[in-house]
Amino acid sequence: MEPLGRTSEGPRSSRFLQLDYLYTPSNDVAADARLFTELIGGRLAFAVEGMGARVAMIELTEGPPHILLTDHLEGDRSIYIYRVDDLGKAVAALKKRGLKDERRLEIPMGPCSSFVLPSGHRIALYEASRPDVIQHFLGRKDF
């Protein structure tokens, strides 16, 4: 069986374009953000608070994946958030391979679908229909 991220049609038809974010649960987003910046040397891209939740984006490298620390995520495992070019096709391919219980949601960058693998690992796919929205958050420090 061919990996979902690669197809025989070539690299341009890849369903998984890139791992953009590690959506990571945190009991104390501000404290964890300080650890990632002061102890590890990451850059705090933003720290936003709204609708009863805190989210901080940490950049450890110039490019993705970036770490999103949040206090509203259930469980203790990160969600690997992959950008795809066609969310419908990518989700259909995962379902064809046997993944079930798709959870649809909206993230600021666009529509998103998440799955829990039988092992408990969590992945999400999103289509970047609003790619520039992240610029709105950059530099913001609510906490």
Range list of H helices, 4-71: 29-34
Residue 11 inside a domain? The answer is no
pLDDT per residue as tens, the chain (143 positions): 555 555 554 444 458 999 999 999 999 999 999 999 999 999 999 999 998 999 999 999 999 999 999 999 999 999 999 999 999 999 999 999 999 999 998 888 999 999 999 999 999 999 999 989 999 999 999 99
Give the pLDDT confidence score for residue 58 in this predicted structure.
99
Looking at the domain assignment, is residue 44 inside a domain?
A: yes
Q: How many domains does the chain contain in total? A: 1
Residue 4 within a domain: no
49, part of any domain: yes
Answer whether residue 36 is part of any domain: yes
What's the pTM? 0.87
CA distance 46 to 23: 14
What CATH number should be reported for the domain holding residue 31? Answer: 3.10.180.10
Spatial distance between the Cα atoms of 94 and 69, rounded to a whole number of angstroms? 26
The arrangement of strands across the sheet holding 43-50 comes to 43-50, 53-59, 66-70, 16-25, 79-84, 122-127, 110-116, 103-107
With respect to residue 8, please indicate whether it lies within any of the assigned structural domains.
no
Domain assignment of residue 66, given as a range: 16-137
